[in-house]
Amino acid sequence: MQITIQAEQQKNKETASLQGTSNSIKDDVEKNGDSQQRTIASPAARKMAREKGLNLNLVSTNDPLGRIRIQDVSSYQPEKTSNHSTAKIEKMNQQVNNSEAASKPIIREHMSRRRQIIAKRLVEVQQTAAMLTTFNEVDMTAILELRKRRKDKFFEEHDVRLGFMSFFTKAAVAALKKYPYINAEIQGDELLIKKFYDIGIAVAAEEGLVVPVVKEADRKSFAEIELDILHLAEKAKMNKLALSDLQGGTFTITNGGVFGSLLSTPILNGPQVGILGMHKIQLRPVAIDKERMENRSMMYVALSYDHRIVDGKEAVSFLSKIKELLEDPETLLLEG
C-alpha cells in the first residue's frame, strides 16, 4: 500500500512538471504572438540574451519543441548565425518580391549588348576614379546675339546651322591648351599628357548614350565642327557608327540641356579625366552692378574631373576659362 501511494505521488509530480512546461511554453506563445513568428525560450535563456544584447530569433536550437535553452544562447556565434540569417532574409525578401511582381503587370527585357557595356563602364569609372564636380554659370547673351546675326549667312555658306556645340568645343580646346592635365590620362604609374585635341560629343541614340569623337578639333573651323557633329549624330541614330568614330577621345562634352536638364553631375568617360556638362539656357535675374538687375540668358555648366590628376584649383580655373571665352565670343575666335 505504501509503495502504491509513493508511485502515485511520483506520477503526480511528473504530470505537474509536464503541465508546468506546457504552461510555460503556452505563456511564451501568448506573450510573443504567433509561435511561427516569435521564438520560444526559457526564462534563463531570455535573461542571458538580454544581457548579451542578442536577438533570440537568430539563435538556433536542437530542442524537439523548438524551445531555446540557456546553453543555446551561450554557444551562439553571431558572425556565422548572422550570415546565415542574412542569406535567409534575402531569400525571403526575394520570394516576397517575386510573389508581388507575379501579381502585377511587368515586362522583362534583355539588356542589349551596348547597354551592358555602357553600364559596366560607368560603374568601373565610379569605382576607379576619384571623381569630383565643380560648377559655374555662363551668360549666353553674347553668343545668342551672335548666332542671331550670323545664323542665316552661316547656313548659306556652309549648309549647316550654327549651334552651341561648336562654341563649347572651341572653348574647351582653348582651355585644355592652358590646363593640359585635364587632357591627360593615367597609365599605370605614369601620366599620359596628350598634345592633340579629339573631343568626344555625347549623343543620345536609341540603344543608349554614345560618344563619337570630333578628331583634331583644334584644327577645325566652326563650320567643320558643326558638320562633323551633324554627321556623327546621324550615324548614331542609324546605328552606323564605326569603331573608329568612337575611339581616341581626349575630353568629352555632354549637353543635357537639349532634354531640359537645368543642372547635373556628368560621369567621366574613362580613361579620360574630364567631362564638361552643358545645360538648359534659362532667363534669370542677374545683378549688372549695385543698382541694376537684368534678365539674362544663363546656363549652368559643370566639370567632372578625376581628382587623382586634376587639383581643385586647376579644375575651377579651367571652368572659369570656359566661362570667360563663351561670354566673349570674339576672344573665343582668337584663342580657340
The residues carrying an active-site annotation are 307, 311
Q: What is the pairing mode between strands 274-278 and 251-255?
A: parallel
Q: Which grid coordinates belong to 67?
A: 524551445
* Cα–chain center distance at 263: 15
| CB-based contact 336:174 (threshold 8 Å) | yes
| CB-based contact 284:296 (threshold 8 Å) | yes
- Phi first, then psi, for residue 96 (nearest 5°) are -65, -45
Q: Which of 156, 177, 158 is nearest to 219 (CA)?
A: 177
Quick one: CA torsion of 253, 258, 263, 265, rounded to 10 degrees?
Answer: -40
| CB-based contact 134:315 (threshold 8 Å) | yes
Distance (Å, whole) CA 324 – CA 319 = 9
